[in-house]
Amino acid sequence: MWKKLFGEAGAKNAVTLFSKPNHQASASVAQFLRSANVVKEAGAKKDDSGSKFELTVSEEPPTSDQLRSILEFVGESNASKVVEGADNVEDAQRKVRLNADTLKRPLTVDWNAGKVTIGDSQSELKSMLKE
């Protein structure tokens, strides 16, 4: 999304995994994203940094602004798919602030493309990472 707005053709997508410590599904998604991020040696250009996207793995919940963006990506009516029992953005922000465990994890966000994947479905992750 940001690349398209600002015309940064060479910019990498920023991908964040909001994970949960000692959670098998989170570990599985982190491993999948790291392996998907490797550029094949034969296809890499001399100036490539060796990865397809900027990956951040966070055990902390998203900030209020990040959560607002995530809910814009999935649609506010789907707030409960991201935060347990949430009805809207403000409700989701309040619930996560009071109890971070209400955030459904693993939660993977491609900030540039405006895409979100909840859970550890590799097919959904592959689809999200395609452009």
Question: H or E stretch including 65?
Answer: helix 64-74
**CB of 55 within 8 A of CB of 34?**
yes
> What pLDDT shows up at residue 105?
97
Q: What is the mean pLDDT of each run of 10 residues along the chain (131 residues)?
A: 52 91 94 81 49 91 97 96 97 97 98 96 91 58
Rounded to 5 degrees, φ, ψ at 61 are: -70, 165
Contact partners, residue 54, CB within 8 Å, separation at least 6: 12, 13, 14, 15
> What pLDDT shows up at residue 38?
77
> What pLDDT shows up at residue 14?
94
Residue with tokens 């009805």: 87
* Distance of alpha carbon 38 from alpha carbon 105, whole angstroms: 24
